[in-house]
């Protein structure tokens, strides 16, 4: 009976995570739609504004998140194979990738802020309407993405702690699995954000 109950809890947890991921996709899908409409209306302004972004940092962050998605998936496999040590190492690599992403974004945002190139400043108000829309969407969308990344990292830190304590193991790993699904969502969102914001043509 206990085993059946645990299975029911796991199925419910997984279903809940998939429903949550669906709502997040709707949220960012709406933002992508707004971006597409504004980009169509202000094509030249969006292109010129995107040149102020560092494509190398954007590409680096893409690679970093792809690596992190791979390592978090491998950590789940390691847990299933009862390899706690490898699962711990892989989760630590995933979290390191999250830190690298945030540090890159800190310098990128810091550069824009030092130039007063963000919504509400006198410089922004003096620019064309398309520029203002681009940078408003840039800060909002990347900021929202970073919030999701931080939340995902917190979930993975909790999962890492439970792996080390043996509470996440080959029989009970739904928290890590759901954390991995959430992390893949964070990665997927960035895969769309990178070309939309950094590779505007």
DSSP 97-127: HHHHHHHHHHHHHHHHHHTT-STTSHHHHHS
Which structural domains are found in the chain, ordered by start?
Answer: 2-198 (1.20.120.80)
Residue 179 pLDDT greater than 80, yes or no: yes
Around 139, how many Cα atoms within 13 Å sit in the side-chain half-sphere?
A: 16
3-state secondary structure of 5: helix
Provide the pLDDT for residue 170.
83
For residues 10-20, give the mean pLDDT: 79
Angle between helices 129-165 and 2-41 in degrees, nearest 10: 160
Average pLDDT, the chain: 89
User: Which pLDDT tens digit goes with each residue over 131-142?
Assistant: 889 999 999 999
């Amino acid at each position: 009976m206990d085993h059946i109950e645990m299975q029911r809890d796991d199925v419910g947890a997984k279903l809940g995570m998939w429903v949550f991921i669906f709502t997040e996709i709707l949220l960012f899908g709406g933002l992508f739609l707004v971006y597409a409409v504004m980009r169509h209306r202000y094509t030249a302004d969006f292109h010129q504004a995107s040149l102020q972004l560092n494509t190398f940092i954007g590409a680096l962050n893409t690679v970093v998140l792809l690596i992190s998605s791979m390592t978090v998936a491998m950590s789940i496999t390691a847990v299933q194979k009862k390899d706690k040590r490898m699962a711990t190492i892989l989760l630590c690599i995933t979290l390191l990738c999250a830190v690298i992403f945030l540090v890159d974004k800190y310098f990128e945002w810091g550069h824009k802020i030092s130039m007063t190139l963000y919504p509400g400043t006198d410089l922004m108000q003096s620019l064309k309407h398309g520029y203002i829309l681009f940078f408003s969407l840039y800060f909002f969308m990347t900021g929202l993405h970073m919030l999701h990344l931080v939340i995902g990292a917190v979930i993975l830190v909790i999962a890492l702690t439970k792996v080390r304590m043996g509470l996440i193991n080959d029989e009970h790993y739904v928290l890590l699995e759901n954390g991995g699904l959430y992390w893949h969502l964070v990665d997927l969102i960035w895969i769309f954000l990178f070309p939309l914001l950094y590779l505007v043509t």
